[in-house]
Amino acid sequence: MSGHVSRELTTEPTRRRLTERQADTVRRLTDAAVAELRDAGYEGLTVRNVARRAGVAPATAYTYFASKNHLITEVFWRRLGALPPVDPGVTGVAAVLREIALLVSDEPELAAACTTAMLGTDPDVRELRIRIGLAIRERLRAALGRDDPKVLGALELAYAGALVHAGMGYTSYARMADRLAETAELILPDPE
């Protein structure tokens, strides 16, 4: 995938390519969603309220996001995409798991909403969930330095289980990051 991005097509969301102006609208909506979650929580969040906070018409918001789950999943996707590239051989698997676990940990309402939203069944959420899963797999593969399907599968299951565990309130996202690092040590073979 090329690092070149044209001025006309600044980002590619689930539904279509965006012009710079449209990309700004989507950014305003995703930023407003985070602010709305802080104030209203997941249950009180609506696309209509997010649109109002972002200064756009509800119909415009629905042009980009089919549901609040789609919108929240997009927030997670964008944060994941903003992480720096993995430096193979330098960035360890535990560090990759930690950074992914901590993506939303500083905002408890967003963290809980992401867990719920990413389990949604609408097609746009499913598409983003696939992209998120592939991106996480690629980050783990790069940190591992090889394509080992069994190890990658175990690490992905550990991450997914930890995300659900934290989302259910059994542990904090910060503690989840520590537990994932410990789990990576158990899964990975000794380098000897």
For residues 48 and 74, state if they share a domain: no
Which of 30, 65, 100 finishes a domain?
65
**How much is the CA Rg of the chain, to the nearest whole Å?**
17
- Is the pLDDT assigned to residue 47 strictly greater than 90? yes
CA distance 121 to 67: 11
- pLDDT, average across residues 98-104: 88
For residues 52 and 74, state if they share a domain: no
- pLDDT, average across residues 15-35: 88
36, 45 Cβ separation under 8 angstroms: yes
For residues 112 and 152, state if they share a domain: yes
For residues 58 and 77, state if they share a domain: no
For residues 76 and 125, state if they share a domain: yes
- pLDDT, average across residues 164-169: 80
- Is the pLDDT assigned to residue 11 strictly greater than 50? no
Closest CA to 74 of 134, 14, 17: 14
For residues 40 and 126, state if they share a domain: no
CA distance 14 to 74: 8
* Domain containing residue 31: 1-65
For residues 83 and 140, state if they share a domain: yes
For residues 27 and 45, state if they share a domain: yes
Q: CATH number for the domain including 169?
A: 1.10.357.10
For residues 80 and 171, state if they share a domain: yes
Average confidence score pLDDT of the chain: 86
- Is the pLDDT assigned to residue 16 strictly greater than 70? no
- Band of the pLDDT at 12, cuts 50, 70, 90? very low
CA distance 141 to 8: 32
Query: Which residues have a Cβ under 8 Å from the Cβ of 63 and sit 6 or more positions away?
Result: none
pLDDT at residue number 190: 64
- pLDDT, average across residues 126-131: 94
For residues 54 and 130, state if they share a domain: no
* Residue pointed to by tokens 């389990």: 119
